[in-house]
Every structure is written in C-alpha cells, then in structure tokens.
A and B are shown apart, each in its own frame.
Chain A
Amino acid sequence: GAGVSQTPSNKVTEKGKYVELRCDPISGHTALYWYRQSLGQGPEFLIYFQGTGAADDSGLPNDRFFAVRPEGSVSTLKIQRTERGDSAVYLCASSLLPNYGYTFGSGTRLTVV
C-alpha cells in the first residue's frame, strides 16, 4: 500500500480484556517496529521485526504484551488482561532497510476503562 495502515484507529476496551492491534506495513518493507506513545510523551520502543522474526523485543513492558508477524508482512500486537495503564497510542512503523527511512502509521488509540 501507499503507507503504513493501522487498524482500528480507536479501541475502547474494559480492564482485563484482550485486544489485538493490526499493522499493515508498506509493501516490500522488511523491517517493522511497534512504539507506544503515552499522552504528552515521546514514543517508546516496544519491538522490532526483521522479516518474520522478532529481532529485538526488549521494549515490551511485560509478558501481557506479545507481537507476531507470521508471513513477514502484517503484524499484530496482542495485549492480554489489559490494564488502565496500557492506555496510549500504539504506533507502527516500517522501513525498507533496517533502521533507515522509517514511515509511521497513524496509530491506534487504545483506551482501557
């Protein structure tokens, strides 16, 4: 596609529920990144995929967070047992080459009530 697509754009869920956030990167981009942006702060790194494998997941805050990219294209960020502190905008980015020329999606705004 022309850009990085993220769905849904907004998600409201109850505390304790499970959510999935989807990222569709630019076609042909092998590197994919997830970031989380809390209100009034800069984005924070969560996980980086090179192809199908997670090359670096050091930013995932705990084991409730998990991400997959089974075919090296679309990625899904999964959050179990959501907490109010998980409320944030989740941004996805992709790049043709690792660590160069990132394109960010519009984000998914997650609200846990």
Chain B
Amino acid sequence: ELKVEQNPLFLSMQEGKNYTIYCNYSTTSDRLYWYRQDPGKSLESLFVLLSNGAVKQEGRLMASLDTKARLSTLHITAAVHDLSATYFCAVDGGRMLTFGGGTRLMVKP
C-alpha cells in the first residue's frame, strides 16, 4: 500500500524567509504532483514531476523529485503573504493519486 507523508504539517513563517516542505512516499513511482488549496476551495495544480531529478519552478516556488530516495521537496523562496494556503503532494500509484496529509502554510507580514 502506497503511503505518502508530508512534513511539516503546519508552518508559520515570516515574509521574506525561505523554507522547504518535504514529501516522502513508500513505493516506487515516477509521477508526483503538488497542489495548492485555499480554505473552502478546490485543488489548484502547481507542478507535475515526471522523472528522477525533475525540477520545476514557478515564481517563488520550486519543486524537485528524487525517485531513488522517494522524496520530493517544495521550496519556498522569500515567502509572501499570498502564499498562505495548504499544500499537498500526491503520488501517482497507477490508478489513482495518493495524497499526503498536507502542509498548512501561514506567512506573516
């Protein structure tokens, strides 16, 4: 059974700081997604990582995938308040996505 763990579960940070969210998963997969969810809203796709060593960047967010270590990271650079949301990683197990528990990010002015 595929298990996906994210840490931290909650992250409070100051504007301008950098931080990394970690996503570990238990079985082999070469496809991983990162989503953002605002309160009461649905899931917004941020990144799709398709191969070992994949790195993608959009604005202040950068995601990477290490399939050998079964680890993905979402790095936040110089955080701003607008990034406050819950972030989920999801691993493609072949027939469905298995989501991590989410990281609730709060960026304080």
Q: Which residues of A contact B (CB under 8 A)?
A: 33, 35, 40-45, 48, 55-56, 59, 91, 98-107
Contacts and interface: CB of A to CB of B under 8 A. Distances in A.
A72 to B, nearest CB: 18
Given A45-B96, A99-B31, A99-B92, A91 B43 contact: yes
A74 to B, nearest CB: 18
A106 B40 CA distance: 9
Contacts of A91: 42-43
Number of contact residues on B: which range applies? 20 to 34
Contacts of A40: 102
B48 interface: yes
Task: List the 9 shortest-distance A-B pairs measured between CB atoms, nearest first.
Answer: A42-B99, A45-B96, A104-B43, A56-B95, A106-B42, A104-B42, A43-B99, A42-B101, A42-B102
B69 interface: no
A35 B45 CA distance: 16
Contacts of A42: 4, 88, 90, 99-102
A48 B95 contact: yes
Given A45-B98, A56-B95, A102 B42 contact: no
Contacts, number: 51
B30 to A, nearest CB: 11
B41 interface: yes
A18 B76 CA distance: 44
Nearest to B102: A42
Contacts of A105: 42
A56 B45 CA distance: 23
Interface in B32-58: 33, 35, 41-43, 45, 48
Contacts of A100: 31, 48
A55 B95 contact: yes
A43 B43 CA distance: 10
